[in-house]
Amino acid sequence: QSALTQPASVSGSPGQSITISCTGTSSDVGGYDHVSWYQHHPGKAPKVMIYEVTYRPSGVSNRFSGSKSGHTASLTISGLQADDEADYYCASYTIDGTWVFGGGTKLTVL
């Protein structure tokens, strides 16, 4: 089981938009819409920001949005804010009935 591929880091200035990609295979991201995104501040509990590719849990800002094309899912954060600075992970259900996470992307708000 190989980790999904994410960029190691992205950055943006307050107010800007950034997009984080998450590339898998036909056995995970490409085969199912069960892709979710997690925000993680070290030492704290992960927080789901997007699930089922595009759905936002109650309480999550509409500045967060998700999409998918082929084997690649994406998380877009618009109107960047300082407290968006965190690590972001994608996760996907797989053909084996297991889950796989991405390697994580460190978002820096400049």
Partner 1 sequence: QVQLQESGPGLVKPSETLSLTCTVSGGSVTNHYWTWIRQPPGKGLEWIALIYYSGTTKYNPSLKSRFTLSIDTSKNSVSLKLSSVTAADTAVYFCGGSIDAVYTWDTWGQGTLVTVSS
Residues that bind partner 1 (CB under 8 A): 1, 3, 34, 36, 38, 40, 43-48, 51-52, 55, 57, 87, 89, 91, 93, 96-104
Q: How far is the CB of 57 from partner 1 (least distance, A)?
A: 6
Q: Which is nearer to partner 1, 51 or 64 (CB)?
A: 51
Q: Which is nearer to partner 1, 91 or 109 (CB)?
A: 91
Residue 92 identity (one-letter amino acid): S
Q: Which is nearer to partner 1, 47 or 63 (CB)?
A: 47
Is residue 13 within 8 A of residue 32, CB to CB? The reply is no
